[in-house]
Amino acid sequence: MIENELRPLSRLGGTPTPKGNIFSDYTAPLFIAWQLNAECNLECLHCCEEAGHQMPNELTHDEIMDFCQQIVRAQIPYVAISGGEPLLHPDFFTLSEFLRRNKVSIKVETNGTFIDHEVARRFGQLGFRSVQVSVDGATPQSFEKLRRKGNWQRTIDACKYLVAAGVNTEIVFVPTKFNIHETGDVIDLAYRLGIYGFYTGKTMQIGRAAQNWDILCPSDTEYEQFFKVLSQKQAQYDGKMKVYYYPDDVIEELKYRLEYPSTSLLVIPDGKVKLIGPLPFICGDLRKHRLAEIWERYQKAWQLTHVRAFTQKVINDSRLLAESNRWQELSIN
């Protein structure tokens, strides 16, 4: 008898033993989260990236395209492009076209401002895995209080253009004191718009969210109600629209990742590679290292005593999450 098997992994990095269950079994990452730029047209109160202006020393066009070639050569299956607002980046469509031509799955996270009929059509032609639009409210009032320079109607129109262009469109909703009571309404709205999936989870105490935590953070009771609504809506839209929510907060995620690091890399606009979003550590630099080398450095970085000790400290004191955007380069041999 030949021995073959097909094993689903519920979460990359899952349980140990058979091969393919821990990140070090893999020749390259399976996923790249790429923050293409830091520039943004909105000034969201909760922005984990503190986005606004361009970061000094962002990757150049040639460096971006070189990285894309490395992604293709390493057969990385899936890339998520974010920012800042990635649609503000002049190379966004050039790199997307290159990756799609080489069959890499892409999703983009966007605030939707720059999506009109024409842009939506372009996404449709490129066959993106999805376009994720941030819709943090069922009304202009709550949405625009959080997304200070945002325009709710324009964002909803962006979703409509995308759906009309046949793009797999998703909505991301970040709960805060201003909008948490509208969770169910946003899900209903998403369904009416023909959205493929709705995603949410607890707000991370990172970046501007950490600075504005007192006015943003929902109470325990509000979160309790939030998860009740989500569970009910998940049942209501079962088989019709994906309603996904991540039940853990960022601290739970860190605890898990300390044991089972993910099979992914997080690239920031200047080409530095972060170990994981909520920690300040930089484990590689696209300007100095090739992707294969960064993948090795990433694996070694998770073993460093200093990294493990600091992660444990953050787990014990979530206020340290505020350090996550004060990057520290790790020395890795």
Partner 1 sequence: MMQFAEHVQVRPEKFGSVIFETLCEKVFVTNKTGAEILRLLKQHKTPEEIIAQLAHDYGCSIDLIRNDVEEFITNLTNHALLKNAHK
Ligand X SMILES: C[S@@+](CC[C@H](N)C(=O)[O-])C[C@H]1O[C@@H](n2cnc3c(N)ncnc32)[C@H](O)[C@@H]1O
Binding site for partner 1 (CB under 8 A): 1-9, 12, 18-21, 25-28, 30, 75, 77-78, 103-105, 107, 127, 129-130, 168
Closest contact distance (angstroms) between CB of 20 and ligand X is 29
Q: Contact, 146 vs 106, CB < 8 A?
A: no
First to last CA, the chain: 45
Q: Which range, of 36-44, 95-103, 119-127, 187-195, touches ligand SF4 by CB under 6 A?
A: 36-44
As given in the structure block, the two tokens for residue 104 are 């890499």
Per partner kind, with CB cut-offs from 5 to 8 A, the member of partner 1, ligand SF4, ligand X, none near residue 253 is none
Instruction: Return the residue of 39, 58, 85, 270 that touches ligand X, per CB under 6 A.
Output: 85
Instruction: Return the residue of 12, 28, 32, 42 that touches ligand SF4, per CB under 6 A.
Output: 42
Residue 132's nearest CA partner among 205, 190, 58, 175 is 190
Distances in whole angstroms, Cα of residue 21 to Cα of each of 3, 17, 171, 254, 299: 18, 7, 30, 18, 14
Integer-rounded Cα Rg, in Å, for the chain is 20
* By the rule CB under 6 A, 46 interacts with ligand X: yes
Residue whose CB is less far from partner 1, 3 or 214:
3
CA-CA distance, 289 to 333, in Å (whole number)? 13
Instruction: Return the residue of 28, 206, 230, 266 that touches ligand X, per CB under 6 A.
Output: 206
Q: At 294, is the secondary structure helix, strand, or coil? A: helix
Q: Contact, 133 vs 89, CB < 8 A?
A: no
* By the rule CB under 6 A, 89 interacts with ligand X: no
Per partner kind, with CB cut-offs from 5 to 8 A, the member of partner 1, ligand SF4, ligand X, none near residue 19 is partner 1
Using a 10 angstrom Cβ sphere, with 0-12 exposed, 13-18 middle and 19 or more buried, the burial of residue 313 is: exposed
Closest contact distance (angstroms) between CB of 109 and ligand X is 4
* By the rule CB under 6 A, 109 interacts with ligand X: yes
With tokens 């002049």, the residue in question is: 90
Closest contact distance (angstroms) between CB of 134 and ligand X is 4
CA-CA distance, 290 to 307, in Å (whole number)? 22
Residue whose CB is less far from partner 1, 11 or 149:
11
Q: Contact, 170 vs 206, CB < 8 A?
A: no
* By the rule CB under 6 A, 80 interacts with ligand SF4: no
CA-CA distance, 9 to 63, in Å (whole number)? 34
Q: Which range, of 64-72, 81-89, 218-226, 259-267, touches ligand SF4 by CB under 6 A?
A: 81-89
Per partner kind, with CB cut-offs from 5 to 8 A, the member of ligand SF4, ligand X, partner 1, none near residue 75 is partner 1
Per partner kind, with CB cut-offs from 5 to 8 A, the member of partner 1, ligand SF4, ligand X, none near residue 156 is none
Residue 273's nearest CA partner among 253, 241, 297, 252 is 297
Closest contact distance (angstroms) between CB of 84 and ligand SF4 is 5
Closest contact distance (angstroms) between CB of 316 and ligand X is 21
Q: At 244, is the secondary structure helix, strand, or coil? A: strand
* By the rule CB under 6 A, 203 interacts with ligand X: yes
Instruction: Return the residue of 58, 85, 170, 253 that touches ligand SF4, per CB under 6 A.
Output: 85
CB atoms within 10 A of CB 127: 13
As given in the structure block, the two tokens for residue 164 are 């009309």
- The binding site for ligand SF4 (CB under 6 A) comprises 40, 42-44, 47, 49, 51, 83-85, 111, 147
- The binding site for ligand X (CB under 6 A) comprises 40, 46-49, 82-83, 85, 109-111, 134, 172, 174, 203-204, 206, 209
